[in-house]
Amino acid sequence: MKQLTGNQVRQMFLDYFASKGHAIEPGASLVPHNDPTLLWINAGVAALKKYFDGSEKPKCNRITNAQKSIRTNDIENVGKTARHHTFFEMLGNFSIGDYFKEEAIQYAWEFLTSPEWIGFDKEKMYITVYPDDEVAYNTWVNICKVDPSHILRTADNFWEIGEGPSGPDSEIFYDRGPKYDPEGLGEKLFFEEMENDRYIEVWNVVFSQYDAKEGVDRKDYKELPQKNIDTGMGLERLVALIQDGETNFDTDLFMPVINATSKIAKHPYEGEYKMAYRVIADHIRTVTFALSDGAVFSNEGRGYVLRRVLRRAVRFGIKLGIQGAFMYQLVPVVADMMEDFYPYLQEKVDLVTRLVKTEEDTFHATLTNGEKLLMEALDAASNTKVLDGEVMFKLYDTYGFPKELTKEIAEEKGYSVDIEGFNQQMNLQKERARNARDDEQSMSSQSIDLMNFEIESFFTGYIDTTCHSKVIACFKDGIQVDSITGEGDIILDQTCFYAESGGQIADTGTFCNDSFTAFVTDVKKAPHKQHLHHLVDIKGTLAVGDIVDGTIDIERRLNIKANHSSLHLLQSALRKVVGTHIAQAGSYVCADYARFDFTHFEKLSDEQLRKIEQEVNAMIMHDNPVITEVLTIDDAKNSGAIALFDEKYGDTVRVVSMGDVSKEFCGGTHVSNTQEIGVFKIEAEESIGSGIRRITSKTKMAAYFDLIARENTMKSIANNMKLNSINLLEEKVALMMEENNQLKKDLQKQNEKMMMLEADETVKQAKSIGGLNVIMLRKENADPNSLKSYAEVLRNKCEDSFVFIANVSDDKVTFVVASSKAAIDKGLKAGDIAKLAASMSGGNGGGRPDLAQSGGKDSSKIDEIFNTIEAKLA
């Protein structure tokens, strides 16, 4: 067997399949592009789904790739086992209706066993096949010459996830020898399918030949009209075998990170600390790649997954004696380690480092208090050994503990967790990452008619707003038909209608001829890039071969063009005013407004927004011509044009230039001169996730009407205030605010006086409980600051006292607690009681042993809180 680095193995795999006529498909971004069914790209085939489901036709039906993937369903096993990872690379070869079983098996065998390639010992290879798959079995035995005694037939060898393409598969295993078989069980480990470290699955070859249907027995599945091959081999596993690593972590794909961590940690990479090192090494790879690919930390979806991964690693860093943020220091290590195949990581390293550092600091700020609360809750549950779901939710909501992290900590200490209780607390929250998608990997059944329709269609809409066209195809619910009426889809030999893409919505309009009229409500791109027009309210019948006249909604198109072009100027202005680290993270362009998402760490100041808006309007008025060119991808990049990071581009690209102020890759429609945009107005600037900001804007008459509406509102307010000019509003509002603040202060003083007058009567009502004079009051809409003074007065007027006040305002509740020295000596510290009351009502807060304040969200819990406190007093 050859001695190879991880980078060499990856490249060798791609080179091998390129020599077999496969096109090397660049790995896709971990963040799925135009696929709402996936949280992450989680397998090599996931990035090629568009080819398998027929939504797009590949240039070559033989494809190979090395695909970055993320899976977190078994995150608690990462670090514990030899081969679990959250981030991994999947090496795959695929056939879209080209070769099938015999060739796929022979390719796998040759790559693994030929001395020219990996060079595994053939006698150490073991195979599994589906019991009924005679073709696969015979290929292994008769062509590859595998000893039948090394083949296991098992019903588990059938790939099927939801409806759609499915079929038998064949797995390839490698025998690592007696060194990894401490009990000397030998082949029993393989044939009885026991969990072991000796017989390691290397490659899975899936023969996609059936169309799975819900409720249909497997034996009755129909054959697919196009049979496919889908294979997957984990790079980390293969490299561990080649480098004879004890685990996947003991290879050059992880050891640079482990070595870097050891320089920060107080404990070495050995014994009980190995798990912590491995968790950190795995998780920093996940975080670095995910953030570099455009994901962000957040409290939902993939951002929640990412936050959970990083915070789990931080906790394991603490186990190694690392204090404070440290994961950010490992980002450059990952970038350096993976630079040969993923050079873009170096371009993102500063951004990713800052994002990780910010997220770590945020978590550390609450980690100590959160862990203290968790330990207290576990102690309180020592009898039941079940952690309460409300505590789990509080840890999540207040201290940023992902529920999975809380669960893992609790289970380490022998506790189970009340997941049902947690979910009840979360019933108003969005679905979290673990349950984000049930059909994460399911593929649609093949749309054969659209996939097979290859007649070319031309887009003329960059210049034309009308078209005189011939209908070359009609579709009803995805099925090709000769004619349509009522509603359906058509493809034309040429069209002026823009198809939705690149964040820009489609054109709408009408089609007609002497015997038919219809409205166009949407336009999508078919698998071969033709524009598929969706027609409604079809009057008459439209058939293949008919000639139609199409007209787009011109006013709508003009507004879309202005909004789209303004976003190019906005990006240029952002990079000039804020910094060149600004990168587009998404956009949406319609006729009414536009949205631009971009990478940045903090809210833009009012002054920055003013400068950005001013800069864009200056560019608009500067009379910049808008020029489009079609260039080769290399020429376009060399020209300095800005490209979207995760966008897939062909051999040639369209480049849009606006004078010397903007140059971007773009396939959308644009104005011919920036002056056509008219005016640009920022409507809002907001955060949509950690490190991602969004600007919403308007142009042309929409922006003008908004400005007029705002001016009219200000005039109305000025008139109501008896002002002659809106220019006096700012001064008047400042004066009113000053007067209002003074009134609040006066009112607070008056309330305090009233309370003080009540104090003597209230003290007389104190109850003697457990040797203390106890005062427990309910108030409504009282001033919280006055309540604290009031509670202190009551405590001081009443010897050996304990005071608890609950004040309800708008269904929210404020708790104020004052404890005398006698009460504190009995264990009734004000801060502890305030925390207790807050936790019981879904809030937070605390304070000193003698005086504390907290808040709650559920005033219906007050009776229960009073009873609980009285029980503590007794």
Give the pLDDT confidence of 533-589 residue by residue, as tens digits: 999 999 999 999 999 999 999 999 999 999 999 999 999 999 999 988 888 888 999
Torsion from C-alpha of 705, 707, 711, 716, nearest 10 degrees? 50
**Whether residue 563 is found in the same domain as residue 492:** no
| Beta-bridge partner residues of 386 | 416
Tell me, yes or no, whether 826 lies in a domain: yes
What is the Cβ-side half-sphere exposure of residue 437, based on CA atoms within 13 angstroms? 19
What residues form the annotated binding site for Zn(2+)? 564, 568, 666, 670
**Whether residue 136 is found in the same domain as residue 15:** yes
**CA distance to 346, 521, 543, 872, per residue, from 537 (Å):** 53, 10, 15, 72
- Cα angle 151, 152, 158; round to 5: 120
Give the pLDDT confidence of 729-769 residue by residue, as tens digits: 888 889 999 999 999 888 878 877 777 778 888 888 889 88
The better pLDDT of the pair 270, 378 is held by: 270
Give the pLDDT confidence of 638-679 residue by residue, as tens digits: 888 988 755 667 788 999 999 999 999 999 999 999 999 999
**Whether residue 458 is found in the same domain as residue 573:** no
Tell the residue number behind the tokens 């190879």, with chain if given.
Answer: 4
**Whether residue 576 is found in the same domain as residue 597:** yes
Calculate the CA 590 to chain-centre distance.
24
**Whether residue 561 is found in the same domain as residue 636:** yes
Q: What value does the mean pLDDT of the chain take?
A: 90
Q: Which helix (H) or strand (E) holds 618?
A: helix 606-621
pLDDT at 149: 97
- Cα angle 105, 109, 114; round to 5: 150
pLDDT at 130: 96
Tell me, yes or no, whether 315 lies in a domain: yes
**Parent domain of 355:** 275-435
Q: Which two three-digit tokens encode residue 43?
A: 């397998």
Residue 435 CA to residue 440 CA, distance in Å, equals 10
| Beta-bridge partner residues of 539 | 517
**Whether residue 627 is found in the same domain as residue 767:** no
Give the pLDDT confidence of 116-164 residue by residue, as tens digits: 999 999 999 999 999 999 999 999 999 999 999 999 999 999 998 777 7
**Whether residue 530 is found in the same domain as residue 603:** no
pLDDT at 413: 86
CATH number, domain with residue 842: 3.10.310.40
Q: Is the dihedral of CA 588, 593, 599, 603 positive or negative?
A: negative
pLDDT at 624: 93
- What single string gives the DSSP state of each residue in 681-729? EEEEEEEEETTEEEEEEEEHHHHHHHHHHHHHHHHHHHHHTT-S-GGGH
pTM score: 0.63
Domain count, the chain: 5
User: Which of helix, strand or coil describes residue 140?
Assistant: helix
Tell me, yes or no, whether 390 lies in a domain: yes
Mean pLDDT computed over 278-289: 97
Q: Is the pLDDT of residue 773 over 50?
A: yes
CATH number, domain with residue 189: 3.30.930.10
**Whether residue 423 is found in the same domain as residue 542:** no
Most confident of 545-559, 690-704, 745-759, 773-787: 545-559
Residue 378 CA to residue 389 CA, distance in Å, equals 12
Going by pLDDT thresholds of 50, 70 and 90, the confidence category of residue 456 is very high
Mean pLDDT computed over 94-114: 96
**Percentage of the chain exceeding pLDDT 90:** 61
**Whether residue 137 is found in the same domain as residue 232:** yes
Tell the residue number behind the tokens 């207290």, with chain if given.
Answer: 376
| Interaxial angle between packed helices 301-319 and 274-292, expressed in degrees from 0 to 180 and rounded to the nearest 10 | 150
**Whether residue 831 is found in the same domain as residue 779:** yes
User: Which of helix, strand or coil describes residue 374?
Assistant: helix
**Whether residue 539 is found in the same domain as residue 592:** no
Residue 261 CA to residue 267 CA, distance in Å, equals 10
Tell me, yes or no, whether 321 lies in a domain: yes
CB atoms within 10 A of CB 592: 10
pLDDT at 645: 56
**Whether residue 630 is found in the same domain as residue 578:** yes
Burial of 497 (0-12, 13-18, 19+ CB in 10 A): buried
Tell me, yes or no, whether 100 lies in a domain: yes
Nearest to 402 by CA among 363, 458, 442: 363
Tell me, yes or no, whether 270 lies in a domain: no
- Cα angle 677, 682, 688; round to 5: 125
> Which of 218, 253, 288 represents a domain boundary (last residue)?
253
Residues in CB range of 141: below 8 A, 6 or more apart = 148, 151
Tell me, yes or no, whether 364 lies in a domain: yes
Q: Which helix (H) or strand (E) holds 607?
A: helix 606-621
The least confident of 165-174, 327-336, 775-784, 811-820 is 775-784
pLDDT at 36: 65
Kindly report the backbone phi and psi dihedral angles of residue 208, in degrees, each rounded to the nearest multiple of 5, phi listed first. -85, 100
CB 41 within 8 A of CB 97: no
CATH number, domain with residue 486: 2.40.30.130
pLDDT at 431: 44
Mean pLDDT computed over 628-635: 91
Tell me, yes or no, whether 61 lies in a domain: yes
What residues form the annotated binding site? 564, 568, 666, 670
- Cα angle 37, 40, 46; round to 5: 70
Residues in CB range of 636: below 8 A, 6 or more apart = 643, 653, 655, 665
Residue 303 CA to residue 430 CA, distance in Å, equals 13
Give the pLDDT confidence of 705-724 residue by residue, as tens digits: 888 888 888 888 888 888 88
